Amino acid sequence: MTLSALNADIIVDQLNAGEITATDCVQHFLERIETHNSDLNAFISVSDKALEQAEAIDNRRKAGESLGCLAGLPIAIKDGICVAGQPTTAGSKMLEKFSAPYDATIVERLKSAGAIVIGKTNMDEFAMGSSTENSYFGSTNNPWATDRVPGGSSGGSAACVAGRLAPVAIGSDTGGSIRQPASFCGITGLKPTYGRVSRYGLIAFASSLDQIGPMTRTAKESALLMSVIAGFDPRDSTSSKEQVSDSLASLEIPLKGIRIGVCRDHLNEGLHLEVKTKINDAISVFKQLGANIEEIELPHTKSAVAAYYIIAPCEASSNLARYDGVRYTFRAQANDLEEMYRNTRGQGFGDEVKQRIMLGTYALSSGYYEAYYLKASKVRRMIKQDYDEAFQKVDLILGPTTPTPAFKLGQHTQDPLAMYLADIFTVSANLAGIPAISVPVEPSSTGLPIGLQLQGRAFEENILLRAAHQFQNETPWHTTSPSEPWRTQS
Amino acid sequence: MEDSVLNSNSNPQSTNRQAVSFNDAKIIIGLEVHVQLDTDSKLFCGCSTRFGEAANSQTCVICTGMPGALPVINRRALELSIRTGLSLNCRIARSTKWDRKNYFYPDLPKGYQISQFDQPICGPGHLDIQTTEASGQSRRIRIERAHLEEDAGKSIHDESSRRQSSKIDLNRTGTPLLEIVTHPDIRTAAEAKAFLSELKLILNYIDVSDCNMQQGNLRCDANVNLHIPLGGEQVATPIVEIKNLNSFRAVERSITFEAQRQFEAWQENGLTIADAPKQTRGWNDQTQTTTLQREKEDSADYRYFPDPDLIAVNIEETQIELIQSQLVQLPSTLRESLVTEYNLKPDDAAVIVSQGRGVVDYFLEVADGCQDSRIANNWIGQEVLRQLNELNQTIRQYPVSPQQFTELLKLVIAGTLDQTRGKEVLNAMVEHSISSEEAIKQLGIKPVDNSELVTLCETLIDENQKVVEQIRSGNEKAIGMLIGKARKINPNANPGLVKAMLSKMITG
């Protein structure tokens, strides 16, 4: 079996057993990036230190030093997360020349576990988008059908894992940015509970919604990455001190008797027919695993997209104020300060970012604040209450991750509302702060991946991962890879 | 505000404006005081708050607003804020949160300032100040709130070179400021100064801030307008905010200037608070005038909203109680106790207390030790303060310990040393850092016994017959001349005793 077909846990085992070296492993994936990135555009930059770091790991291993649980494993990091000394652009012209002066907490943790950052992945500018078409560095292509989007905003991370340009990747999810691209690319993506993973070093889009998480082929690999990145960080005031449960250890605990809620509303209107069929098939698998399926209601989630597109732009309008041309960003030519601000931000940001900054600025303005921001915050609380009530009755909530499989490049670029509806099933988890995972189910008849979403109680990532893992024990969908050379699919 | 205010200039009597005298106008003043809290590190990062370091050397990814960096609250700043609030009789919030104040400025790295909007750490309180008009009278100035916020950086504009350039120093960015806002209860420039002096003294006593105004550790904005009686109503002039006053004198003078300016402007154009938006004016120390900076349309829209990077802070009752229990005695309490327990005049008590806790402690120890608080006050309030001033020292550096000082005063009280000799001894003690005993020895001071005194007086009478005649003929003051001569012959002779003996010998 070639290295790129192996799952991360197997790669780590083989590295530990001395069957392969970190250098070989990194070399292999660098070669695949070299060969395929021109087709996929999954990476914005590739690390020139990865081989050196791999050699260092190999040497330490040879010297008999004790190494971390990911020693020698290559990993791709979304370009909105700071890696010291590496370009960190957030997909924006504004940060085209920016090299991060520090490691994000999760990068620090991954590095100390021995993981090797091989590159930074493409994304919608400042994570604003659902297709990776809003990247200043060009859109990423879906390896299953290169004329289709990989989803977004973590489209580069999803595409590189699906296309096996990296064994695993890290993404970030503000309204579905891990799960939706995972769904479109046929991989597993976990958005942890808000506060479970430190945001320190994640370039903020909407601080109260952003969360970093793993994007992998299997739930087991996600559990492995979570064992490294999850946990309290004193540098992030919103990170939680809640004990991290050992997801890896609980993966095989039988699901018998677990209560899974299904919201019928989410399986009817506007749903792609095949998505509906495949999700229903997946429900049958969970039944076979001993789960009790129950109907639940989440009445306020129908307002989730509306609330999300107020709260997220409000926070973004403030978070992105620092990109002003004064310090580390792109700076446009100008004759005076005001013109410098205007030109820098006018030229440095793309249209979608500018649109959301304007939206947020407007919604926070005096006279509108109550009608928009406060109202949306109220809706947010009601959505959270819906979940609290639902989780009295069930342990997990199951549904589709997205209403359709991956759409075509350019299909929604002129229709922001259609684009925003791609987030309809994912934004609620961010608003409520709960964890959610997307897992591949049977693809469409034309071979496009479809994703199933499981949502769980806050800090119960272990139950999500356990359910996803046992689903994957029963199904082959996470093991399939797109064929090479990549194909288009009409 | 207690006055009913007429918000329009459509008064038919507006032509009578010239008849109103400035002295009839009431000045309405509210202050916003920014105090830099004396923490080692900044409000949301670990950078040092030291003043005067190389530009941008006290910065990190957090206070320079690097992408992805997050703030973490400095607990010490919260504690100092609570301590200040308690000292100003403020209600301390049980839950306080952080808000973003959004505006663009080159020395504001994040494009927003982390501040507190609707849940400030300190709620309503008050500070009583002594008014200058009637000694002993106090006025209560209500505090509206006090909130914590981070400071911005410093822009340095170099316009001297051919290519004008601006530079930014972010060392100050993120230093903790407590903004204390008063109600518009202040009525005169002198009261404004008195408020600031008392506030500064309190902050000093409670170790919250050194209030060094040169370093910008205490900055003040004053909101000023006038209420002018006109035809049985009160007319209010437009409110002016005078920005960044960096000395007490600037506060006093700018308010005095601004009141006069507003009065004249009103006489000329009759504009009232309803006609003109709030103005921001700057105080110019050179010209001693205020000049227009900008006119605000209502208030600038800062788009305040809760900072999602920080969580609300819950302040436990027990924490407040603990800080309360550790609170030192405040200046007002000490002044009171110096008057009631130590029998000082209010003005004398105020002088001692105004010197800071160190001088108060010094006084208390000496007064208790020598059992005569009046003498202790005379000597400390005059001699010690004069010497400290001359030596440019604090009381902690003063070479005479309170114990040694007490010993000296005991000798003065016992009459062993007269005032003049006592001061000579004190000077020697300060100059050579020696005890009173050693100083007395060095100065050759010895007690004079009665027979020596008799011989001295007899000699004086023999040698100064003319003066003796003057005294005999009723010019009692002439005896001073003899006492002076006695001092020259024997500096140790007690002038009081010499005088008594001479009188007895001359006039019987």
Residue A134 has pLDDT above 60, yes or no: yes
> Which of the four pLDDT bands, split at 50, 70 and 90, describes residue B3?
very low
Q: Is A364 on the interface with B (CB under 8 A)?
A: yes
> Which of the four pLDDT bands, split at 50, 70 and 90, describes residue A149?
very high
For residue B217, being part of any structural domain is answered with: yes
For residue B426, being part of any structural domain is answered with: yes
In this predicted model, which residue has the larger pLDDT, B231 or B318? Answer: B318
The token duo for A80 is 């909105």
Beta carbons of B97 and B306 less than 8 angstroms apart: yes
The number of domains in chain B is 3
For residue B83, being part of any structural domain is answered with: yes
> Which of the four pLDDT bands, split at 50, 70 and 90, describes residue B1?
very low
How much is the ipTM here?
Answer: 0.96
Q: Whole-angstrom Cα distance, residue A472 to residue B504?
A: 121
List CB contacts of A55: < 8 A, sequence separation 6 or more: A22, A23
Residue A254 has pLDDT above 50, yes or no: yes
Pair (B119, B242) in one structural domain = yes
Counting residues of chain A whose pLDDT is more than 70, the rounded percentage is 99
List CB contacts of A208: < 8 A, sequence separation 6 or more: A194, A238, A311, A315, B308
Of the residues B442, B474, B489, the one at which a domain ends: B442
Annotated active-site residue A153? The verdict is yes
Top mean pLDDT of B199-203, B287-291, B445-449, B488-492 is at B199-203
Sign of CA dihedral A184, A185, A190, A191: negative
Pair (B98, B16) in one structural domain = yes
Beta carbons of A108 and A231 less than 8 angstroms apart: no
Pair (B232, B342) in one structural domain = no
Residues of B in contact with A314 (CB under 8 A): 305
> Which of the four pLDDT bands, split at 50, 70 and 90, describes residue A321?
very high
Is B72 in Cβ contact with A369 (below 8 Å)? no
Q: How many CA atoms lie within 13 A of B231 on its CB side?
A: 13
> Which of the four pLDDT bands, split at 50, 70 and 90, describes residue B296?
low
> Which of the four pLDDT bands, split at 50, 70 and 90, describes residue A214?
very high
> Which of the four pLDDT bands, split at 50, 70 and 90, describes residue B505?
confident
Residue B299: predicted pLDDT: 57
Pair (B113, B16) in one structural domain = yes
Q: Whole-angstrom Cα distance, residue A211 to residue A173?
A: 5
Q: Which of B416, B505, B401 is nearest to B461 (CA)?
A: B505
Q: Whole-angstrom Cα distance, residue A458 to residue A405?
A: 28
For residue B485, being part of any structural domain is answered with: yes
Residue A433: predicted pLDDT: 98
Beta carbons of B116 and B146 less than 8 angstroms apart: no
Mean pLDDT along residues A290-315: 96
Is A318 in Cβ contact with B100 (below 8 Å)? yes
Residue A490: predicted pLDDT: 56
Q: How many CB pairs under 8 A join A and B?
A: 96
> Which of the four pLDDT bands, split at 50, 70 and 90, describes residue A79?
very high
Of the residues B420, B442, B464, the one at which a domain ends: B442
**3-state secondary structure at position B160:** coil
Annotated active-site residue A318? The verdict is no
For residue A261, what are the β-bridge partners? A294, A397
**3-state secondary structure at position A26:** helix
Beta carbons of A176 and A430 less than 8 angstroms apart: yes
Pair (B293, B198) in one structural domain = yes
For residue B312, being part of any structural domain is answered with: no
Residue A153 has pLDDT above 90, yes or no: yes
| Range with lowest mean pLDDT among A151-165, A258-272, B42-56, B361-375 | A258-272
Pair (B422, B460) in one structural domain = no
Residue in B65, B71, B308 nearest the CB of A322 = B65
Residue B2: predicted pLDDT: 41
Domain enclosing residue B124, as ranges:
5-299
Residues of B in contact with A195 (CB under 8 A): none
In this predicted model, which residue has the larger pLDDT, B195 or B216? Answer: B195
Pair (B400, B271) in one structural domain = no
Pair (B403, B503) in one structural domain = no
Pair (B336, B461) in one structural domain = no
Residue B214: predicted pLDDT: 83
Q: Whole-angstrom Cα distance, residue A77 to residue A92?
A: 16
List CB contacts of B320: < 8 A, sequence separation 6 or more: B82, B86, B92
Top mean pLDDT of A463-477, B153-167, B481-495 is at A463-477
Residues of B in contact with A88 (CB under 8 A): 67-68
Residue B225: predicted pLDDT: 96
For residue B476, being part of any structural domain is answered with: yes
Residue B14 has pLDDT above 80, yes or no: no
Residue pLDDT, tens place only, B335-360: 999 999 999 999 999 999 999 999 99
Mean pLDDT along residues B1-18: 55
**In chain A, where the domains are located:** 3-254+465-479
Q: Could you say which residues from 307 to 346 on chain A have a Cβ atom under 8 Å away from some Cβ of chain B?
A: 314-315, 317-318, 320-322, 324, 326-328, 337, 341
**Closest chain A residue by Cα to residue B106:** A326
For residue B262, being part of any structural domain is answered with: yes
How confident is the prediction for chain A on average, in pLDDT? 96
Of the residues B398, B416, B442, the one at which a domain ends: B442
Mutate to test the interface with A, among B159, B173, B303, B310 (most CBs of A within 10 A): B303
| Range with lowest mean pLDDT among A158-172, A214-228, A334-348, B440-454 | B440-454
Q: Whole-angstrom Cα distance, residue A411 to residue A419?
A: 9
Residue B133: predicted pLDDT: 59
List CB contacts of B330: < 8 A, sequence separation 6 or more: B87, B202, B205, B206
Residue B327: predicted pLDDT: 95
Pair (B345, B206) in one structural domain = no
Q: Which of A428, A392, A451, A113 is nearest to A274 (CA)?
A: A451
The token duo for B115 is 């501040």
> Which of the four pLDDT bands, split at 50, 70 and 90, describes residue B137?
confident
CATH topology of domain A3-254+465-479: Amidase signature (AS) enzymes (3.90.1300)
How confident is the prediction for chain B on average, in pLDDT? 90
Pair (B147, B259) in one structural domain = yes
Is B109 in Cβ contact with A322 (below 8 Å)? yes
List Cβ<8 Å contacts ≥24 apart for B48-56: B49/B175, B49/B176, B51/B212, B51/B215, B52/B215, B53/B171, B55/B167, B55/B169, B55/B171, B56/B168, B56/B169, B56/B170, B56/B171
Residue B193 has pLDDT above 50, yes or no: yes
Residue A459: predicted pLDDT: 98
Pair (B470, B411) in one structural domain = no
Annotated active-site residue A237? The verdict is no
For residue B153, being part of any structural domain is answered with: yes
Mean pLDDT along residues B463-472: 87
Residue B253 has pLDDT above 60, yes or no: yes
**Closest chain B residue by Cα to residue A342:** B104
